[in-house]
Amino acid sequence: MEKERDMVEPERVAVPGLDQVIGRKFPVLDDGFVRLIDYMGSDESIVQAARVSYGKGTRTVSDDRSLIRYLMRNRHTSPFEMCEVKLHIRIPMDLWRQWIRHRTASVNEYSTRYSIAIDSAKKTLPGQWRLQSEVNRQGSGEALDMDLGEGLSRREAELQALAREVYRERIELGVAREQARKDLPLCTYTEAYWKIDLHNLLHFLALRMDEKAQLEIREYATAIAGEIVRRWVPLTWEAFLDYGLGAMTLSRIEIEVIALMSEGKKEEAVSRLFTSGLLSERDGEIKEGREAGELAEKLARLGLRKPWGKE
């Protein structure tokens, strides 16, 4: 009898709402997509991992919700690693270079050494060209003038067409694929299978859904979050919105400054910012560093005015 119990197959955790979208392609950009291939675990798996001392069904949904929120709030991450997801993505190579920096995943990418490069490239509409941000060295700002954008889009199309023509010529002449591909532009689409646990996926989403992330990769992150994660682990997603994506952290100095402001001690708050190096003075004007600028944004979220400089 004991031997028979040992041979019983464990029941696979199923999430009906997620099962309905396995294999469905969710479009991103002009020719990209995100597609769910497989998943393991659920909110229940996270709870079971945290409560390893007893089995399934010993707590209510409200208890599970409270525990998941506690785990998220206090950064107990290992239970979230009990869940995994495998995605199939099509993405331009320039965005893939950002994506692949998240090294906590298993990856297998389409190889242009073995196969002909995907005949698709990310195109930019005239109204989609953006100016370089004046405050963020790696980001973009307002849209470029439409007339200038039309010229840029026209030249983009010419460049992409020429690059593809040269690539085809090399392939037709028998040049090795690994060498023929070298001048393909970064706008060329690639595909990959990407498998990652939930803890690290949420970290990816926190960074790539942030307003400071590149707009195009935010679209991929938003598709993963909205079409897959929220269906898969709704309790975890709710907790992540409250304690991760929608939350903010305060440093020791920021807490001290806000405490002084709450007591009406504006001058002391500004003095603390100067002594901590967040503010400096040059030619009689207050200069704020990046950290002070971030504090100003946090104060605005709290409905508070920064105690220094002009509004």
Q: Assess whether pLDDT exceeds 70 at residue 2.
A: no
What is the band of 9 on the pLDDT scale with cuts at 50, 70, 90? low
pLDDT band at 138 (very low <50, low <70, confident <90, very high): confident
Domain that holds residue 165: 126-183
What's the whole-number mean pLDDT along residues 260-275? Answer: 95
Residues 70 and 192 in one domain: yes
308 pLDDT more than 70? yes
Cβ atoms within 10 Å of 297's Cβ, excluding its own: 11
What CA–CA distance (Å, rounded) separates 33 from 78?
Answer: 30
Question: Is the same domain home to 193 and 285?
Answer: no
Q: How far apart are CA 64 and CA 85, in angstroms?
A: 21
CATH number, position 42: 3.30.1360.170
Residues 145 and 230 in one domain: no
> Cα–Cα distance between 211 and 218 in angstroms, integer?
8
Asked if residue 81 belongs to a domain, the reply is: yes
Is 212 in the same domain as 79?
Answer: yes
Q: Is 107 exposed, middle or buried (0-12, 13-18, 19+ CB in 10 A)?
A: middle
Q: What is the pLDDT of residue 12?
A: 80
**308 domain-assigned:** no
Do both 214 and 91 map to the same domain? yes
- Residue 14 falls in which region: left (phi positive, over 0), alpha (psi -120 to 50) or beta: beta
Q: Please give the tally of structural domains in the chain.
A: 3
What are the two backbone dihedrals, phi and then psi, of residue 208, each rounded to the nearest 5 degrees? -90, -10
Rg of the chain over CA atoms, in angstroms?
25
**Annotated catalytic, 208?**
yes
Same domain, yes or no, for 32 and 148? no
Q: Are residues 216 and 280 in the same domain?
A: no
Per-residue pLDDT, 56: 55
Per the residue annotation, which of 65, 181, 208, 231 is the catalytic one? 208
Report pLDDT for 115. Answer: 96
pLDDT at 57 over 80: no
In a domain, 210, yes or no: yes
Kind and range of the H or E run holding 280: strand 279-282
Among the three residues 220, 245, 270, which one is the final residue of a domain in this structure? 245
| Chosen domain end from 163, 183, 203 | 183
Same domain, 112 and 222: yes
Average pLDDT, rounded, for the chain: 92
80 and 108 part of one domain: yes
Given this model, what pLDDT does residue 59 score? 61
| pTM given for the model | 0.90
Segment 247-257 mean pLDDT: 96
DSSP at 81? G
pLDDT of residue 52: 81
Tens-place pLDDT, residues 178-236: 999 999 999 999 999 999 999 999 999 999 999 989 999 999 999 999 999 999 999 99
Q: Which residue, 167, 183, 199, sits at the end of a domain? A: 183
Residues 277 and 134 in one domain: no
Q: Which of 291, 269, 115, 251 minimizes the C-alpha distance to 190?
A: 115
- Same domain membership, residue 285 and residue 136: no
